């Protein structure tokens, strides 16, 4: 082995020894000594929850468009022009399937139709989580 190789090997061993010593120190220190990063405000701090509610109050009166989609279909303009009173348009959704609830065009839930006092409504059966929405956007 050349002198240069010996120096590199000794250096690598020193690095390994230093890493092992650092790990031993970290394991010996109590877990409570680690402090969490203060990235997000804590609700337990005085005024944290109140200020968050004040910020939320600013957007509570903003109107949004909610729509319920029964299904979709594609037809030609020729067939569209032939539609008349009483015509039936076949949709891609099956009877009994949950309907999509969209807010400003974004799917947020699924549900089933209910009738209350002669008015249609929708009972939400599944709420789409933010992570699921992001996954669908990524497709």
User: Across the 139 residues of the chain, what is the mean pLDDT of every consecutive 10-residue run?
Assistant: 57 69 69 58 58 78 89 91 92 84 89 88 89 74
Please, are residues 133 and 112 in contact by the beta-carbon 8 Å criterion?
A: no
Nearest to 62 by CA among 104, 114, 120: 104
What is the pLDDT, as a whole number, of residue 116? 86
What is the pLDDT, as a whole number, of residue 33? 52
What is the pLDDT, as a whole number, of residue 27? 66
Alpha carbon separation from 122 to 17, 117, 119, 132 (Å, rounded): 65, 13, 10, 21
Domain boundary assignment for the chain: 1-62, 64-139
What is the pLDDT, as a whole number, of residue 8? 57
Rounded distance, CA 15 to CA 21, Å?
10
CATH number for the domain running over 64-139: 2.30.330.10
Can you name the residues that pair with 102 across neighbouring β-strands?
67, 107
């Amino acid at each position: 082995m050349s002198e240069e190789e010996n120096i590199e090997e000794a250096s690598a061993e020193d690095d390994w020894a230093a890493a092992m010593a650092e790990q031993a120190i970290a394991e010996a220190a109590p877990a409570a000594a680690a402090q969490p990063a203060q990235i997000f405000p804590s609700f337990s701090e005085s005024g944290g929850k109140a200020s968050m509610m004040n910020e939320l109050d600013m957007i509570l009166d903003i109107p949004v468009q909610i729509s319920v989609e029964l299904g979709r279909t594609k037809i030609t303009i020729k067939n569209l022009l032939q539609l008349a009173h009483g015509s039936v348009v076949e949709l891609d959704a099956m009877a009994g399937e949950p309907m999509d609830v969209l807010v400003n065009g974004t799917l947020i839930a699924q549900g089933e139709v209910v009738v209350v006092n002669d008015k249609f409504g929708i009972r939400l059966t599944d709420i789409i989580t933010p992570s699921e929405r992001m996954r669908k956007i990524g497709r």
